[in-house]
């Protein structure tokens, strides 16, 4: 299984879970602009957690994330994250918790 972290009850899986029921594909969150250097990956995950709540999903699979800055820009940091919102069965969630908690 791919590396997994948990945040606010949602599994963030950096890969695919074959038995996952995908409820929404290619969801992304991006934070940038003035003051964005004060943001973190946690802020991106907060957005994705809200999307999961709306879609009744318990995981973001194929999760990709990162940060970048523009050259010559002092206060321009961009944090981003994307993936597919999915529902994982209880057994899969328990396996992920045992392995990554």
pLDDT in tens, 84-94: 999 999 999 99
Task: Report d(CA 55, CA 96) in Å as an integer.
Answer: 21
Q: What is the pTM of this model?
A: 0.89
11: β partners: 6, 59
Taking the alpha carbons at both ends of the chain, their separation in whole angstroms is 14
What band does 3 get if pLDDT is binned at 50, 70 and 90?
very high
Per-residue pLDDT at 37 exceeds 70: no
Q: Report in angstroms the alpha-carbon separations of 72 from 32, 37, 75, 76, 82.
A: 15, 14, 9, 9, 26
Which of these, 90, 100, 78, lies nearest to 12 by C-alpha position? 100
- Residues 62-99 have pLDDT tens digits of 999 998 776 665 667 788 999 999 999 999 999 999 99
Task: Report d(CA 76, CA 18) in Å as an integer.
Answer: 38
Domains contained in the chain, CATH given: 4-100 (3.30.110.70)
Per-residue pLDDT at 48 exceeds 90: yes
């Amino acid at each position: 299984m791919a590396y997994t972290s948990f945040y606010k009850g949602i599994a963030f899986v950096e890969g695919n879970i074959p038995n996952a029921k995908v409820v929404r594909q290619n969801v992304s969150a991006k934070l940038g602009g003035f003051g964005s250097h004060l943001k973190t990956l946690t802020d991106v995950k907060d957005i994705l957690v809200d999307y999961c709540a709306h879609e009744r999903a318990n995981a973001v699979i194929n999760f990709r994330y990162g940060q970048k800055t523009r050259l010559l820009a002092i206060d321009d940091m961009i944090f981003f994250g994307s993936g597919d919102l999915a529902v994982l069965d209880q057994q899969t969630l328990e396996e992920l918790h045992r392995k990554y908690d």
